[in-house]
Amino acid sequence: MSEIGSRIELKTDYENAVAVTTAALKEEGFGVLTTIDVQATFKQKLDAEFRRYVILGACNPPLAYRALTTDFDAGLLLPCNVIVYEKSGGSIVSIVDPLSMLGVIANPWLEAVARDAREKLKRVAQMLREEQ
């Protein structure tokens, strides 16, 4: 884990990296609420070229419910973002550290939710590493 998340290098193409990441998230109870195609957005809005890069807004409903019933402002930090982008010879997946994100709100109950989310996302990262 870095300050804001963990980074996993996958020796697989971009499309497969997105698929295995989504599947690993599902294994830990996360659904993907939003998918932002950064490459397409930059092309459309800026007429700029960019590598294939997607931001997945991952949500674990029980954890989100706990967070929002603890502090309504926690919604500013949800969902948990996961990025996947192509890199020569493979792909990169980076997963946000919920404890770093939710830690900006000083609330011990919210910290417990963030720790639970962190453990689930660590298992997602481990599943991805085992895909190698």
Mean pLDDT by 10 residues, the chain (132 residues): 85 97 98 98 98 97 95 92 95 95 82 94 96 76
H-helix or E-strand spanning residue 127:
helix 108-130
Query: What are the φ/ψ torsions at residue 76 (nearest 5 degrees)?
Result: -65, -20
pTM over 0.85: yes
CATH code of domain 5-130: 3.30.310.70
String of DSSP letters for 52-121: -EEEEEEE-HHHHHHHHHH-GGGGGG-SEEEEEEEETTEEEEEEE-HHHHHTTS--HHHHHHHHHHHHHH
